Amino acid sequence: MDHTLRVFAILVEEKSFSRAAERLHLTQPAVTQQIRHLETHLGAQLVERGHRMFRLTQAGEVVYDHAQQILSLYGRMERWVHEMMQEAKGWIHVGASYTYGEYLLPAKIASFRQQYPQVELEIFIGNSREVLEGVKRGGMELGVVEIPVTDATDIQIHPISQDTLHVIASNNHPFAARKRVTAKDLAKETWLVREIGSGTRDMSDQLFTRLKIVPERMMVFGSTQGIKEGVMAGMGISLLSECTFRKELSLQTVKVLEIPNPPMKRTFSLVLPQTNFRPFAVMKLLEHLNKPDYD
């Protein structure tokens, strides 16, 4: 049943039978069969299916919430047994904000897996608030967020690295030819921003407050990659972490703008469940993530 619950949990995360099948290395009919088996076992419909539509029923929401906790407990049980043998084995569920998860975490995970090939990692990438909630609910053993955590109930917080953000524009944008851009100019430009709940969106809002501006136009994107593509296409400007646009900067497709405000900084922080015991595999991963970020 734990395998079926894992299939269901991944289906909910992906919101697509085809994407869930790809992630699980199964066929789509196999995923459908597993979900129907779970629905039959529980005597309730969990997912509403339709053309280009995926929605959990009320029963499905209850099952997903409990499935996360069950799978987390199952993984911890495995790791505690391996801990007794001082082996780094088993599953670790990791959450990361988009910036850290897409641009810094992959290299760290790759090098970690070279050292500890018997550790299996389930990676969830979302905005910082989603990651924080995942750790609090017990669905993730650890997470990395890019927002200040004001409610530290039942969790531990450990800063691991600093991040610097800059305002960027396409190299063909009129602002790119200027030595300095004024706050008034910035207010009149279209800003490409992340959704509410994203750490990068919080930093953008802080910048607007510091500059005392209200942008005339804003476009909301659900990913940093989408924002970069929009900037390069000349749709507007954006505030992004420097680790996300290094390649584009070297290719001279974007340019950092000089604005009346020093570069903005924030902290990437590990968030962990409050506990006196951490399995060997988790401890080794924490040590690895605490090392300086790769260039």
> 177-199, pLDDT tens digit by residue?
998 999 999 999 999 999 988 88
Comparison of pLDDT for 74 and 171, the residue scoring more: 171
In degrees, rounded to 5, the angle at the alpha carbon of residue 237 between the alpha carbons of residues 231 and 240 is 85
What is the average pLDDT across 134-151? 87
| Token pair of 247 as six digits | 């390649």
Residue 82: the pLDDT is 67
Sequence-distant (6+) residues with CB within 8 A of 5 are: 38, 67, 70, 71
Sequence-distant (6+) residues with CB within 8 A of 237 are: 167, 168, 169, 173, 175, 186, 189, 190, 191, 192, 231, 257
Please give the DSSP secondary-structure letter assigned to residue 50: E
Q: How far is CA 140 from the centre of its chain?
A: 12
Percent of the chain with pLDDT over 90: 51
How many CA atoms within 13 Å lie on the side-chain side of 86?
0
State the pTM of this model.
0.66
Compute the distance between CA of residue 200 and CA of residue 266 in angstroms, rounded to an integer. Answer: 10
Domains of the chain (ranges, CATH numbers): 1-87 (1.10.10.10), 162-267 (3.40.190.290)
Average pLDDT over all residues of the chain: 88
